[in-house]
Structure 1
């Protein structure tokens, strides 16, 4: 779906997901293929060292407020 498409402008994923791929691995796959696509990672169980997140992406610790989510999304959609 992303081949030649610009319809996805932001991805948000929880770090803890069922299955073999967690949210951090998903983000790394995204960054390899689309290095400028911002990813908002969220988790209530762990944090991420700053060096693992590209400058155009963000870690949002749970529980987050709607205002915090709104600010994070607006930051990337207006950049």
Structure 2
């Protein structure tokens, strides 16, 4: 099951983006987006780490999860209120990080 399908099954409204630029456009169109999960390797004008920094600057309350099966990131690589989750994604770890970041607001 994909992460998008998992979150839809949990009752979330999911917007999928095929590039960092599409993700920014989705955020511009849907101000209610509260959580963004992105891969480090994204097509478009920026990678997932740069996307996370752009989102943090433009939409500060957004919870950010950055994931990769190749790169290993530390907190120093990411903006505040974000987390790195390695692939393959453990859904429980992802949920735990989202909950932790929700409380950090």
Paired residues of 2:34 and 2:61 also in contact (CA < 8 A): no
Higher relative contact order (CA 8 A, sep 6+): 1
Structure 1 consecutive aligned stretches of length 4 or more whose deviation exceeds 6 Å: none
1:31 to 41, 56, 72: 56
SS in 2 for 1:42: strand
Structure 2 runs not aligned, ≥5 long: 1-28
Who is 2:35 aligned against?
Answer: 10
Paired residues of 2:38 and 2:66 also in contact (CA < 8 A): yes
Paired residues of 1:10 and 1:76 also in contact (CA < 8 A): no
The CA distance in 2 between the partners of 1:31 and 1:73, in whole Å, is 15
TM-score, with normalisation over the residues of structure 1?
Answer: 0.76
Specify which structure has the higher proportion of helix. Answer: 2
Structure 1 runs not aligned, ≥5 long: none
Is residue 56 from structure 1 mapped to residue 81 from structure 2 by the alignment? yes
Is residue 66 from structure 1 mapped to residue 91 from structure 2 by the alignment? yes
Which stretch of structure 1 is more off in the superposition, 48-57 or 32-41? 48-57
The CA distance in 2 between the partners of 1:29 and 1:55, in whole Å, is 12
